[in-house]
Amino acid sequence: MSTPSKKIGVFDSGYGGLTVLKEIVKQLPQYDYLYLGDNARAPYGTRSFETVYEYTLECVKKLFELDCELVLLACNTASAKALRTIQQKDLPTLAPHKRVLGVIRPTTEIVGNYTKTNVVGVLGTSGTISSNSYPIEIEKFYPELKVVQEACPMWVPLVENNEFESEGADYFIQKNLTSLLSKGKNIDTIILGCTHYPLLINKIKKYLPEGIKLISQGEIVATSLIDYLNRHSEIEQQLSKGKSIQYLTTDSS
């Protein structure tokens, strides 16, 4: 029997996916990982469907070429705008035995376990919010929930430009949170629907009333991946177990 040699690819437009990779590696340390950040073209959040799809597909192809059997789009914008087309249109011809997964579904599957008021807020990039992916997916699992959303177009640039601890970050975080809370008076749970946002968590907490739960995706996605690999032994058996992590970027490292 041949030795499994395939890696798990983790993709994001930039640094945000590292918040997800960290939790995955914590829960599944045995595998080999390849992280690809498309820093040269980040942020994706304000780009059109076509562009996000084109960039994401290019990066997925690269990860396949580099021997990834399974690619996780650790990017909500790419999950919202490109995942379905890649899964349905591209994969069958490109690599029918490989898999591409996203981060929105695992989050929407469990959000009902957190809220008591049945009012949930979603923070995300302009692309994720305008796609309506969160309300659409949440409705499938929890039709009783009210979902209110807020696009935060400045948050990813603040992280990508290393300004996430600056006073400028406070201004935009407070502005977007105030706007979100004004749209849903009884919000008790907020999804950080962008993998960059956990890097802003201290400032986000500073401007939120006590008692509101914040859902970051790292742990949720990691738990969901464990479940996926348990259910898909044909994929799991291909994965090499060398405990390595490699980082790639489309820009200067």
Q: How far is CA 244 from CA 30, 198, 230, in A?
A: 8, 24, 21
Residue 55 is a binding residue for ligand DGL (CB under 6 A): no
Residue 106 is a binding residue for ligand DGL (CB under 6 A): no
* Near ligand DGL in 151-170, by CB under 6 A: 156
Compute the C-alpha angle 73/6/80, nearest 5°: 10
Q: Are 209 and 236 in contact (CB under 8 A)?
A: no
- Cβ proximity to ligand DGL: between 17 and 184 the closer is 17
Q: Are 126 and 151 in contact (CB under 8 A)?
A: yes
Kindly tell me which residue out of 8, 12, 104, 148 binds ligand DGL, with binding defined by CB under 6 A.
Answer: 12
- Give the whole-angstrom CA distance, residue 114 versus residue 56: 31
Kindly tell me which residue out of 39, 56, 76, 131 binds ligand DGL, with binding defined by CB under 6 A.
Answer: 76
Kindly tell me which residue out of 59, 86, 173, 194 binds ligand DGL, with binding defined by CB under 6 A.
Answer: 194
Q: Which one of 59, 68, 75, 152 is the catalytic residue?
A: 75
Within 10 angstroms of residue 80's Cβ, the number of other Cβ atoms is 29
Residue 196 is a binding residue for ligand DGL (CB under 6 A): yes
Phi, psi of 18 (to 5 degrees): -65, -30
Q: Which one of 59, 68, 152, 194 is the catalytic residue?
A: 194
- Cβ proximity to ligand DGL: between 76 and 238 the closer is 76
- Cβ proximity to ligand DGL: between 10 and 145 the closer is 10
- Cβ proximity to ligand DGL: between 57 and 156 the closer is 156
Site map 111..150 versus ligand DGL, x via CB under 6 A: --------------x--x----------------------
- Give the whole-angstrom CA distance, residue 199 versus residue 55: 24
Q: Are 170 and 202 in contact (CB under 8 A)?
A: no
Within 10 angstroms of residue 227's Cβ, the number of other Cβ atoms is 11
> Rule CB under 6 A: which residues touch ligand DGL?
12-14, 16, 42-45, 75-77, 125, 128, 156, 194-196
By annotation, the residues acting in catalysis are 75, 194
